[in-house]
Amino acid sequence: MTVIILTACPPGLRGHLTQWLLEIAAGVYVGHVNSRIRQRLWARVIELAVPGRALLVYQRPGEQRLTFETHDHDWQPVDHDGITLMRRPASQPVYNPAIPQGWSKAAKRRRFARRSPGTSGAASTPTKQNPTS
């Protein structure tokens, strides 16, 4: 079984793939084709999918029984001890100057508030918490 998933690709490519595969959802093509046809279809996808992305999944002998190929995709297939996994790029935190950094005023008051002088006993003295002891 072969599965091809297209994102933002031209209609001509979609029409070409419907000659060999069934389009079961928008941009998702499924079918049984031999390896020669699959390789030619994938070469055509790479040739015509210039502005978009494509993902190919097909059967292969082995423990996982399938493999992936990608074109202009952020996620990349990576072999890890014989199993193909998809590696996502790490997301970088975006600095937004509109969001204040650090403690809020309420959190500062709560954290650094002094105890009222009228209380006595253990409640008025802060306890030290030492994780090593």
Q: Quick: pLDDT tens for 78-88.
A: 988 888 898 88
Q: Quick: pLDDT tens for 39-78.
A: 999 999 999 998 899 999 999 998 899 999 999 988 888 9
Residue 129's pLDDT is what?
62
* Residue of 77, 50, 54, 53 whose CA lies nearest to 66: 77
Residue 89's pLDDT is what?
85
Residue 3, Cβ density class (10 Å: 0-12 exposed, 13-18 middle, ≥19 buried)? middle
Three-state DSSP at 7 gives strand
- Measure the CA angle with vertex 64, ends 62 and 69; round to 5°: 95
pTM of the model: 0.65
In angstroms, what is the C-alpha Rg of the chain? 28
